[in-house]
Structure 1
């Protein structure tokens, strides 16, 4: 957690991942949603940190050093390694612009941390000059070969060990790049799957509303038809009756009331027809949404195929790495045998020199 002496200098929203400590290849989501990731500066100690808090827990607490590197592995994903925390952090951003801004700020803060370290080293040298003068600089000394016949081959064996170490580093780099691509595809797949679920839910809701409006329209139509039949019956009874004028006059208000009711229902029917047109428009929007869902499903299928190919290539790389380890083991056994033979030859030569 940041203290009062630290001040935020830059913030961004991102999905946070951490490398799996068991496999060192797969990413583990550190939060369910995007969180705020901020750069903090401690003026009293001249220290820069990247901090992100989820609830009451600090998910990221990484002190930036000059030897750190922020790597963009895709258009929306970047990562950096923290040796002090013994982990690798990954950030997935909503856009390429946000990733670029975060990477630029990382480079600025890294340069500022380098300058701060140089200033602190200069101050240390100025405050303790005797220490800097009296302490000798110890350089790694190479192996000095003697005139013996076996020392030159020992030096060549060390060169072979250095070459094998370089080859191992190259294989580790290939494996890390493969895992990064795999995580990138997994993050894109999860994002598309979430958008797909949202669109399906919206489509179901729109279909439910359309069905409800259709039922309401049918009920109004049935009620209107019933009123029309009632009015026609009353008019036929009125025309066929031979009642006096007074009786006809008494039945007139009921007919007027029914006519007004029919008129009101006709107006409601017109409104429902206009609403029906808007519902058909909503239906067309639902069709477009359904088409988008199908497109997303196709894209999901493509991503799954790409992920399968990536896993297959990764397994092939692992098999090649296993073969390389076996070859290195064989070379190491041969080198041990040669070294043993050279040591025996050297002892024999030493005995020969002593006997002469």
Structure 2
């Protein structure tokens, strides 16, 4: 079994014999690194103990079966998707495969396996404490989490489907190199989805700002429309006043024209009277000269 870091605070390993995948979440990346180191140390110790047991079995003539430590299933299995940990607490069990009793020559390996089991139990208790803290922190953070947006739910379903695909690949295939490469690609896909979601949220914020700006423009437009209507009404009033003034001006012009015609008539009449008076004066003058 190989422990693989799937994220900064989550790791998992698969047992192909039991067709099971185990996972653990940690409160920090340093704790995850320490667990990975211990996992590798116990894996190496188990390999060395197995090799020594096989060597002793080859030297002995009595056939015996190796006693291997049981598989440990973590009490708290959690999955980390996009940095959010989901808690799943199955029943804490420790599976020990029944095997035949080893011979006397294999007793050192049995003792080593017992020590490994004890060490594993101590590590398991420590992990229980860490997982209890993680559970408390997870419950506290879950209480403050807002409702997922619809698009985030779609991305989360896609991420869950990708993680399920990773689990299936780990159970079916024993080629860890291929699994790691595929897992890396899937993690990159998840990161791309997260970046796309972030871009969509930024676009949504921008659209909200544009909507607010459009609302402001609409209010300004309504205000200008009202002012324009007021101006049109005032313009109609002024046009009516102008039409009245034009009518009055035309009437005044007609009156002035009639007055001018009257003056011309009076001037012509006055000119005739003056001409008659002039003739009368000339006649009177001639009469005075004759007399």
**TM-score, scaled relative to structure 1:** 0.33
Structure with bigger gyration radius: 2
**TM-score, scaled relative to structure 2:** 0.40
